[in-house]
Amino acid sequence: MPPHGLATIAELSAMITAGRVLLVAGHESLLKKLPAGKWIAGTATQFMTEAGTVTDTTRIFYSDLTRQAGSVKILALDSKTLPDIASGYPDNGFSIIILPGGSLVLGQFARFVQEQTEIFNAPLTGWVSVPLGGKASVFAGSRQPLTEHAAVMHVTLPPEKAARLEVINLFSPSKTAILEFDAEGFSATDCKIDGQVTNLAAYLAARNIDQKLPLLADYHGAMLNVSLAGTDATGTGLAFYKPVFKDAVYRFANPIPDYPAAFAKALKDAQSETPAFACNSNLNVLYAQLEARPTPPFQGPITNGEIAYILLNQTLVYLTIDTIEE
């Protein structure tokens, strides 16, 4: 079997039984049929594949890390144990985390990683699983779905190997309005815009600001996207794919005149890479018109959030395993 691709339950079960180290994504009904082993998974039905970005509810996507992995440790972390995730980092290696979309533990992760410098002591990547007609779920090496746990895999690498984590982000902050929020959360009705309390949705509509563009916040020198998810449950506010924080300063992103062309250029610039793992935002698929289009060299799940140490939105995240030259 190739290092990435779509597999049937029987094919993937054979790989797991053979001891392969796998990152897996698929419909919950399929994941619940897999045997116990060295794998973690999250619910999803859309994937970047060699043939293009596809939706598939009958097969399971996998990335096989067996060739790179020296040893692995799999954990299911809840709200009490998740803040200690960095204590399990390997001395040389990387960690993968899959968080259930819409869960309390996802909000907790988004919050505490902003303050924990030890999170950056080793590459941490992963994705947010997608709700499929109910709650999103993750799996930590068994067929038991988990809706309020993070599935974590710590991977130790041989001494001659090193993990490298990269992010493709199309956006840069504009020099227009400054936004500040009085409360933390995945939605907001009002915020301060240049110091004045304003209804955010009304502000966007009045100025014809493209809601394809995220807000950007400066977190300790890194510009992070907060993507808009549409109108919230109240009908008067906006929902976000990651929480906003009251101690951060936000700006609107600069416009991108041709989103598909900008994304295609980013892919071309990365074509020499050989990713061991990759995931892409569902918003990139939508706005860059990636349905049925290949995204070489990347294959992996389409997500509701990407992890590169912290929770990201509207990015493509990938991990490579490099050989250290003497």
As given in the structure block, the two tokens for residue 193 are 């815009």
Pick the closest to residue 215 from 205, 202, 199, 204 (CA basis). 204
* Whole-structure pTM value: 0.93
What is residue 56's predicted lDDT score, i.e. its pLDDT? 97
Contact 265, 289 (CB under 8 A): no
Q: Taking the domains of the chain in order of start, what are their residue ranges?
A: 4-167+261-323, 173-253
What is residue 220's predicted lDDT score, i.e. its pLDDT? 67
Contact 310, 126 (CB under 8 A): no
Cα distance between residue 283 and residue 314, in whole Å:
6
What is residue 236's predicted lDDT score, i.e. its pLDDT? 77
* Number of other residues whose CB lies within 10 A of the CB of residue 261: 11
What is the b/e burial string over 140-167, where b = at least 16 CB atoms within 10 angstroms of the residue's CB?
bbbeebbbbbbbbbbbbbeeebbbebbe
Sheet of 306-308: strand order equals 71-77, 150-156, 93-100, 124-129, 306-308, 310-312
Helix (H, G, I), strand (E, B) or coil at 270: coil
* Number of other residues whose CB lies within 10 A of the CB of residue 95: 23
Cα distance between residue 72 and residue 290, in whole Å:
33
Compute the CA torsion angle 240, 319, 14, 139 (nearest 10 deg). -30
pLDDT tens string, the chain, 326 residues long: the values are 899 999 999 999 999 999 999 999 999 999 999 999 999 999 999 999 999 999 999 999 999 999 989 899 999 999 999 999 999 999 999 999 999 999 999 999 998 887 788 999 999 999 999 999 889 999 999 999 999 999 999 999 999 999 999 999 999 999 889 999 998 888 999 999 999 999 998 998 898 888 889 999 877 667 789 999 887 767 778 999 888 988 789 999 999 999 999 999 999 999 999 999 999 999 999 999 999 899 999 999 999 899 999 999 999 999 999 998 76
